[in-house]
Chains A and B, each alone.
Chain A
């Protein structure tokens, strides 16, 4: 297993900042985070501004959560990095996620 380069932190405005490479290897942690942060929340703002890479599996998980929650709870992607933006347009999944 490669060295972990992924972390999650919450800033002063309550936005969850994801950082590093979000890949299939982080899914367990990522899923646990999503489930935890969603409890009782009306909106979960997530920033991908510091994510340098995201893979298909991680995108799928985000989409799955988004589909399950909405419209009651909003999973909001507040910002994306240029890299993520490129990936989203490459795979055409922007509409499904944003």
Chain B
């Protein structure tokens, strides 16, 4: 790579970071429009991007960024308010910059197709109030605010609230005449009569005035000119004039978009203040609703807020980019070094005479350091899920908008780390599930209100580590999956018989069948037919599992369980018939000496063993893995009790050795996926030990039970 290429490479990766940062700030601004740190971060990202693009000679990118910067400067100086509309434009601008960067990174000479760039610039300029036609020739032209002062006839927008006295007619005045006078000064953008005080016919007195007005007028006249219109009525009546020009670019009330529905309804006279207050009092904050509904614990809510803060801090830390291959080499080297040291240790133990204990200790020490080294290197490959979850925020925002739905995304456990490779592989399945929640789960605001739900739906993304696995939950509070629909579909497909009785779980499993889809509506997004079976396959390939829980009108929860296949894992080393196995330590509840007398048998071969106040089944490694060697049987000396998060069981073993961290090698890269095995690891003596996949174990074992029972 020559110097020029290296500089470009840096620019590409840097701009990627900057654009992500900008997008993150925008999304955050949308929920907290007043947040100054977000505005600052947004401004800084665009500013840095502008300079670095200019440095590598991408002038079009730089120019465009400059224009955006000008717009952002107005946000920073509070000359412009953050509105939903503005955020949408800025998000699409960030996308546009990204597309320009992508184009040049693919070797195109032009950053954007001819015409597209100008169109985009014009859009931003319109927002800035610069005449799109007279684009400044020089690159870093005069600030746009000066340009706005240039037109000789500058129009302002005024909002005038006219609340007359009830007995106005008695003084010979008429609002229509006042409005007529006002209309001569400019153009009415909007006239909103407020009929909320209009009484029932019985109490209606035809000589009283019940209507008040709000008028938005576009005018080049002064405030005083406007005031003059009300000369004869202003003393006794409530007339308020306010300059609202900053809200009215292009004559559209951009303030309206971000206003709350209640305010809009109130202002347009569809409801009265009393009704609004009543309704608002019935409303609760999102957090409270979630807590009340039992969807989230109060502590969890707080934790999520804290996490959000924390992750933002983490995000701002300095990072460097390293080729993954370099890391993989390190992981392998660290591992080989460990194996080497272990071998030396064994040789010493075998051949060294007395008096060399010190040396032995030293080697053991070295081994310990090496283990830590291995662990640290493996951790470098791990990334928090934050970035992945964040992408969904954006996706949901855009898609919900298109479908006319209101959806909030809540994420928790953003700092949960996963191996980079796993993250890459789960991104698509996750996306598909989130889309499913969006398309088929969450109802439109109207449907939700009919059901007595809050108009805005919630999609919750949650990640956490348990039992040596990473769990990712995607849940929505939508309509849930219709089991009758599934049954109907399964019947149509001939998968079941009409008289067949199936459990909820069994029915839900059909969702993962190829060719299954209950969607009665084809959307541009998730389409139809291709669906959850693909998701299931992808998760299977990662050695993970997927679960669905659903309840009518309460929502649906998808739970992905991903083994830490590529990661370093703490394991308990056990021996069965001279074969060594590793049990993920996080799943281990307890190890216990085996007492044959305590075993209870039922059925032909099933055995249970008392554990605390319960009886847990004993699951035999040899039987599950079909190793062909006899099971521990009489040689069983100990039981390892594990909990997978769903089920608990005991594993009979002959010997329990030390717990230790190991680098788990995936089997599929060298061999193929075997259910019940998460991977393999190489021991100090060079031999291979299998790492058990307890969820797979559980599945094989309990399925087996079920089949026998059935």
Q: Interface on A for B, CB 8 Å cutoff?
A: 24, 27, 31, 55-57, 59-61, 63-65, 67-68, 87, 89-93, 96
B:206-244 near A, CB below 8 Å? 206-207, 209-211, 213
B174 adjacent to A27 (CB under 8 Å) = no
Q: Which A residues are in CB contact (< 8 Å) with B210? A: 60
Partner of A24, one of B169, B180, B191, B192: B169
Q: Which A residues are in CB contact (< 8 Å) with B702? A: none
B180 adjacent to A93 (CB under 8 Å) = no
Give Cα A50–Cα B480 distance, bound, in whole angstroms. Answer: 60
Partner of A64, one of B175, B188, B192, B206: B206
Give Cα A43–Cα B198 distance, bound, in whole angstroms. Answer: 23
Q: Which A residues are in CB contact (< 8 Å) with B206? A: 27, 31, 57, 60-61, 64
Q: Which A residues are in CB contact (< 8 Å) with B211? A: 56, 60, 93
B176 adjacent to A55 (CB under 8 Å) = yes
Give Cα A42–Cα B577 distance, bound, in whole angstroms. Answer: 96
Say yes or no for B496: interface residue by CB 8 A criterion: no
Q: Which B residues are in CB contact (< 8 Å) with A24? A: 169, 174, 207
Q: Which B residues are in CB contact (< 8 Å) with A63? A: 195, 198
Say yes or no for B344: interface residue by CB 8 A criterion: no
Q: Which A residues are in CB contact (< 8 Å) with B213? A: 91-92
Give Cα A83–Cα B193 distance, bound, in whole angstroms. Answer: 19
Which chain A residue lies CB-closest to B172?
A24
CB proximity of A35 to chain B, nearest CB, Å? 11
A55 adjacent to B204 (CB under 8 Å) = no
Give Cα A68–Cα B198 distance, bound, in whole angstroms. Answer: 12
Say yes or no for B51: interface residue by CB 8 A criterion: no
**B401-438 interface code vs A (CB 8 A; 1 in, 0 out):** 00000000000000000000000000000000000000
Give Cα A63–Cα B204 distance, bound, in whole angstroms. Answer: 11
CB proximity of A44 to chain B, nearest CB, Å? 15
What 10 A-B pairs come out closest when comparing CB atoms? A92-B191, A68-B201, A92-B193, A64-B204, A55-B174, A56-B175, A61-B206, A56-B176, A56-B174, A90-B179
The answer to whether A96 and B191 touch (CB under 8 A), given A64-B201, A90-B183, is no
Known A56-B211, A65-B201, A87-B176; 5 more pairs at CB < 8 Å = A56-B176, A63-B195, A91-B193, A92-B192, A96-B195
CB proximity of B211 to chain A, nearest CB, Å? 7
CB proximity of B180 to chain A, nearest CB, Å? 6
Partner of B188, one of A31, A57, A67, A90: A90
CB proximity of A1 to chain B, nearest CB, Å? 13
CB proximity of A41 to chain B, nearest CB, Å? 17
CB proximity of A61 to chain B, nearest CB, Å? 5
Give Cα A89–Cα B189 distance, bound, in whole angstroms. Answer: 11
Give Cα A7–Cα B195 distance, bound, in whole angstroms. Answer: 28
B191 adjacent to A64 (CB under 8 Å) = no
Q: Which B residues are in CB contact (< 8 Å) with A64? A: 198, 201, 204, 206
Q: 29 A-B contacts, Cβ less than 8 Å apart?
A: A24-B169, A27-B206, A31-B206, A55-B176, A56-B174, A56-B176, A57-B169, A57-B206, A57-B207, A59-B176, A60-B198, A63-B195, A64-B201, A64-B204, A64-B206, A65-B201, A67-B201, A68-B200, A90-B176, A90-B180, A90-B183, A90-B191, A91-B179, A91-B193, A91-B213, A92-B193, A92-B213, A93-B193, A93-B211
Which chain B residue lies CB-closest to A54?
B176
Give Cα A22–Cα B183 distance, bound, in whole angstroms. Answer: 21
CB proximity of A88 to chain B, nearest CB, Å? 10
Partner of A91, one of B175, B201, B204, B207: B175
B169 adjacent to A91 (CB under 8 Å) = no
Q: Which B residues are in CB contact (< 8 Å) with A93? A: 193, 211
Q: Which A residues are in CB contact (< 8 Å) with B200? A: 68
CB proximity of A63 to chain B, nearest CB, Å? 7
B:452-501 near A, CB below 8 Å? none
Give Cα A40–Cα B405 distance, bound, in whole angstroms. Answer: 47
Give Cα A96–Cα B188 distance, bound, in whole angstroms. Answer: 19
Q: Which B residues are in CB contact (< 8 Å) with A67? A: 198, 201
Q: Which B residues are in CB contact (< 8 Å) with A57? A: 169, 174, 206-207, 209
Q: Which B residues are in CB contact (< 8 Å) with A90? A: 176, 179-180, 183, 188, 191
CB proximity of A84 to chain B, nearest CB, Å? 11
CB proximity of A40 to chain B, nearest CB, Å? 18
CB proximity of A42 to chain B, nearest CB, Å? 19
Give Cα A42–Cα B206 distance, bound, in whole angstroms. Answer: 24
B:22-49 near A, CB below 8 Å? none
Give Cα A27–Cα B191 distance, bound, in whole angstroms. Answer: 25
Q: Which A residues are in CB contact (< 8 Å) with B195? A: 63, 96
Give Cα A92–Cα B183 distance, bound, in whole angstroms. Answer: 13
Give Cα A94–Cα B211 distance, bound, in whole angstroms. Answer: 13
Give Cα A67–Cα B196 distance, bound, in whole angstroms. Answer: 13
**B160-197 interface code vs A (CB 8 A; 1 in, 0 out):** 00000000010000111001100100001001110100
Give Cα A67–Cα B211 distance, bound, in whole angstroms. Answer: 14
CB proximity of A48 to chain B, nearest CB, Å? 14
CB proximity of B622 to chain A, nearest CB, Å? 80
The answer to whether A27 and B193 touch (CB under 8 A), given A56-B174, A63-B198, is no
Q: Which B residues are in CB contact (< 8 Å) with A68? A: 200-201
Q: Which B residues are in CB contact (< 8 Å) with A65? A: 201
Give Cα A89–Cα B200 distance, bound, in whole angstroms. Answer: 25
CB proximity of B102 to chain A, nearest CB, Å? 49
Give Cα A92–Cα B280 distance, bound, in whole angstroms. Answer: 28
CB proximity of B269 to chain A, nearest CB, Å? 10
CB proximity of B314 to chain A, nearest CB, Å? 53
Which chain B residue lies CB-closest to A30?
B206
CB proximity of A22 to chain B, nearest CB, Å? 12
CB proximity of B409 to chain A, nearest CB, Å? 38
User: Most chain-B CB neighbours within 10 Å: which of A60, A63, A65, A87?
Assistant: A60
Give Cα A65–Cα B207 distance, bound, in whole angstroms. Answer: 14
CB proximity of B186 to chain A, nearest CB, Å? 13
Q: Which B residues are in CB contact (< 8 Å) with A27? A: 206-207
Which chain B residue lies CB-closest to A95?
B193
CB proximity of A24 to chain B, nearest CB, Å? 6
Give Cα A98–Cα B520 distance, bound, in whole angstroms. Answer: 39
Q: Which A residues are in CB contact (< 8 Å) with B175? A: 56, 91
Give Cα A49–Cα B201 distance, bound, in whole angstroms. Answer: 26
CB proximity of B194 to chain A, nearest CB, Å? 10
User: Most chain-B CB neighbours within 10 Å: which of A55, A56, A63, A64?
Assistant: A56
Give Cα A60–Cα B198 distance, bound, in whole angstroms. Answer: 9
Give Cα A96–Cα B198 distance, bound, in whole angstroms. Answer: 11
The answer to whether A56 and B198 touch (CB under 8 A), given A90-B188, A91-B175, is no
B209 adjacent to A60 (CB under 8 Å) = yes
Q: Which B residues are in CB contact (< 8 Å) with A91? A: 175-176, 179, 191, 193, 213
Give Cα A59–Cα B167 distance, bound, in whole angstroms. Answer: 16
Which chain B residue lies CB-closest to A58?
B206
Q: Which A residues are in CB contact (< 8 Å) with B191? A: 89-92
CB proximity of A12 to chain B, nearest CB, Å? 31
